[in-house]
Amino acid sequence: MNSKEIIKGVITHDNPPRIGLDFNPPHTKDIYWSPAAKLKNKSMPIIDWGENDSELGKQVPWFKGSLMRDEYGNIWGRVEGDSITHGEVVKGVLEDGYNLLNTYNMPEIDEVGTREIARELDENDAKFKLGIVGGFGFAVMRYMRKMDNLMVDMVLDKENHSRLNEMVDELVLKQIRIACNMGFDAAGIYEDWGTQTSLLISPGLWRELYKPSYKKLISEVHRLGMFFFMHSCGYIYEIIEDLIECGVDVFNFDQITLMGVDRLSGEFGGRVTFWNPVDSQKILQTGNKEVIQWHARDLIRKFGKFNGGFIAKDYPQLDCIGVKEEWAQWARDVFINEGNY
């Protein structure tokens, strides 16, 4: 079986020969993942880190460090000396109010960049191809409005919140349909919903404001014959059942011990697939070979026992969390050597 067939077998619990493997280059990788489509914004072109700090600096004169502007028009900042993190939004494009929405244009599909993605897909045809869309409503709006404003909007300005969310949904739908046309096997999002101890908002508010979008967008993914992957940082136990109801096929929780391997396996194993590294907060960073390898074996035992159901991965930015390559390799060795069914 090639990589694509193995990952499909893992997700459908169809007795694949081994667990899925998704390690950082140059290591073994069954999954080729890239943006589902490239985006551009004619009125506010993307400015990469340091390309035009003076222009962006006029808009955020109080910030000292390097700056970039994304496809939505948000300005991101990294403090002096930081060259490896993604930074944080220091000026949201709609931060100053929804009145700006009357003249705001959402990003468009960058046809040239998207064709480049299509060429890369052809070169990785034997792999399972995952297209990452630019986030559902919350992941996009929390940057456009800034987190504090968005939290207030959820309670005091639901009308404008819903208006913006619908605009984001339309852009996501375009990316999903392009992903299908290009031959992706799955669509996925990165949308962080948890703190260390709870959901960022109440489960009831999440169900009111965001669950309808999840249902609509994931239904379209499935209608087009693709699987759906979701990453979320933090503790989101309260809405996992809702997300499964909406159609999530694969979950990525990098801090897997926050919600408990036993609990997740016992309640949700066999119904979804877990796509996880050794815990990136509490286990990998110990640098303890025995602990790291024990945890890797535990993930195989608890998540991979349902005739599939487990894809082992690396944390993608090991340098950002102070993890040595040697420590990550200890986990890989277990996943590769002991992950056969």
User: pLDDT, tens digit, for every residue of 198-250?
Assistant: 999 999 999 999 999 999 999 999 999 999 999 999 999 999 999 999 999 99
Q: Write out pLDDT tens, residues 249-279.
A: 999 999 999 999 999 999 999 999 999 999 9
**For residue 170, what pLDDT is reported?**
97
**108 is written with which tokens?**
């468009």
Under a CB-based contact definition with an 8 Å cutoff, are residues 226 and 182 in contact? no
Phi-psi region of 50 (alpha: psi -120 to 50; beta: other; left: phi over 0): left
Distance separating alpha carbons of residues 167 and 329, to the nearest angstrom: 43
**For residue 85, what pLDDT is reported?**
81
Q: Write out pLDDT tens, residues 38-79.
A: 999 999 999 999 888 788 999 999 998 999 999 999 999 999
> Which residues touch 249 (CB under 8 Å, ≥6 apart)?
11, 186, 227, 228, 229, 272, 273
**For residue 6, what pLDDT is reported?**
98
Q: Write out pLDDT tens, residues 279-337.
A: 999 999 999 999 999 999 999 999 999 999 999 999 998 888 888 999 999 999 999 99
Give the count of beta carbons closer than 10 Å to the beta carbon of residue 326.
9
To the nearest 5 percent, what fractions of the chain are helix, strand and coil? 45, 20, 40
**For residue 83, what pLDDT is reported?**
79
Under a CB-based contact definition with an 8 Å cutoff, are residues 60 and 91 in contact? yes
CA distances from 251 to 38, 55, 116, 182 (A): 24, 40, 28, 23
Under a CB-based contact definition with an 8 Å cutoff, are residues 193 and 138 in contact? yes
Residue 82 has pLDDT above 90, yes or no: no
Cis ω on the peptide bond leading into residue 26 (within 30° of 0)? yes
Strands (E), the chain: 20-22, 31-35, 39-40, 65-69, 75-79, 88-91, 108-109, 128-132, 186-190, 227-231, 250-252, 273-276, 310-313
What long-range pairs does 86-89 form, CB within 8 A, spacing at least 24?
A: 87/49, 89/143, 89/146
**For residue 80, what pLDDT is reported?**
85
Backbone angles phi, psi at 35, to 5 degrees: -55, 145
Pinpoint the residues of the chain covered by CATH 3.20.20.210: 31-40+98-249
**For residue 321, what pLDDT is reported?**
85
Q: Write out pLDDT tens, residues 13-40.
A: 999 999 999 999 999 899 999 999 999 9
Distance separating alpha carbons of residues 192 and 223, to the nearest angstrom: 25
Residue 175 has pLDDT above 90, yes or no: yes
**For residue 121, what pLDDT is reported?**
92
Q: Which of 94, 118, 125 is nearest to 38 (CA)?
A: 118
The alpha carbon of residue 237 and the mean position of all alpha carbons in its chain are separated, in whole angstroms, by: 17
pLDDT grade, residue 84 (50/70/90)?
Answer: confident
pTM: 0.95
Q: Which CATH number applies to 31-40+98-249?
A: 3.20.20.210
Distance separating alpha carbons of residues 14 and 6, to the nearest angstrom: 9
Q: Write out pLDDT tens, residues 122-148.
A: 889 999 999 999 889 999 999 999 999
